[in-house]
Amino acid sequence: MTLLDDLLADLTVEGDRLWAAVAGLDADGWATPTPAAGWTVATQIAHLAWTDEVATVAATDQDAWEAIVLDAVADPMGYVDAQALEVARLAPEALLARWGAARDGLRAALRDHPARERMPWFGPPMSPASMATARFMETWAHALDVYAALGVDPEPTDRIRHVAHLGVRTRDFAFGVHALEPPAGEFRTDLVAPSGDQWSWGPEDAAQTVTGSAWDFCLLVTQRVHRDDTDLVATGADAERWLTIAQAFAGPAGEGRPPR
């Protein structure tokens, strides 16, 4: 299997797990508020469906993508949320069907896209593998909000390595969206996976380091937890600053979550 095959397989499993959690909900269940202010279970699924659709457009239709960008430029801070809220108006059966079609369409588009050819996005252009990683990250993160709303305790798995990798790779992006100069040197990031394995990025002799739970790190870079509520340990002022602004998703700086 190729890297893309592995990514799409993990994306499918993560999406299937979320699908199983919402497929049997009644209208009240879909209207359950989630930890994201103003977003219900339906809004979370609508966001995933819309973003999968837009990612498919980015991979397959340049003209349609440019039209989406023009719409987004008119409301850069609210455009994506507005799309999620609009799609969430669908009846539950229609919303679930739309998300299912979007998932299938995205997988097909990424498999058919030339592996070395980047596609446009709201952040930096992406290869098919990078886009699959980003879609995994968002599916996992938004699923956490749905599980919290429904009282479901998700089982941590080593599939979150994709999120951790993206979190490390987006360090400089996180500084940039806060109008800060990225640190000159690499950090060393050592994380303990749910399985107990050790995951590491960066040079062993780096002056600044981040260590701790991979689960907490992934929650942090998707802004599902406050810095103070993690077990992460930063050595160095820049590393500590990173943990207060980390953001693995494209777009403006997120608001994060309040401390518990």
Residue-level pLDDT at 42: 98
Are 176 and 182 in contact by the 8 Å Cβ rule? The answer is yes
Residue-level pLDDT at 139: 98
Confidence of residue 109 (pLDDT cuts 50, 70, 90): very high
Are 138 and 254 in contact by the 8 Å Cβ rule? The answer is no
**Extents of the domains making up the chain:** 3-154, 160-245
Q: What is the pLDDT of residues 11-68, one digit of tens each?
A: 999 999 999 999 999 999 999 999 999 999 999 999 999 999 999 999 999 999 999 9
Residue-level pLDDT at 136: 98
Tokens representing 1 are 């299997």
CA–chain centroid gap for 181, Å, is: 24
Question: Can you identify the CATH homologous superfamily of domain 160-245?
Answer: SCP2 sterol-binding domain (3.30.1050.10)
pLDDT at 159 over 80: yes
Tokens representing 60 are 């397959």
pLDDT at 172 over 80: yes
Neighbouring C-alpha atoms within 13 Å toward the C-beta of 149: 27
2.40.50.140, 1.20.120.450, 3.40.50.1470, 1.20.81.30: CATH of 3-154: 1.20.120.450
Average pLDDT rounded to a whole number, residues 153-180: 96
- What is the rounded average pLDDT for all residues in the chain? 96
Are 35 and 149 in contact by the 8 Å Cβ rule? The answer is yes
Tokens representing 187 are 């950090």
β-bridge partners, 33: 40
Are 126 and 109 in contact by the 8 Å Cβ rule? The answer is no
Query: Residue 8's closest CA among 129, 164, 160?
Result: 129
Residue-level pLDDT at 15: 98
Residue-level pLDDT at 244: 96
Q: What percent of the chain has pLDDT over 90?
A: 90
| Residue 150 one-letter amino acid | L
Q: What is the pLDDT of residues 201-259, one digit of tens each?
A: 999 999 999 999 999 999 999 999 999 999 999 999 999 999 999 999 987 887 788 89
| Residue 223 one-letter amino acid | Q
Average pLDDT rounded to a whole number, residues 123-132: 93
Residue-level pLDDT at 124: 84
Average pLDDT rounded to a whole number, residues 77-99: 95
Q: What is the pLDDT of residues 64-82, one digit of tens each?
A: 999 999 999 888 888 999 9
Burial class (CB in 10 A: 0-12, 13-18, 19+), 72: middle
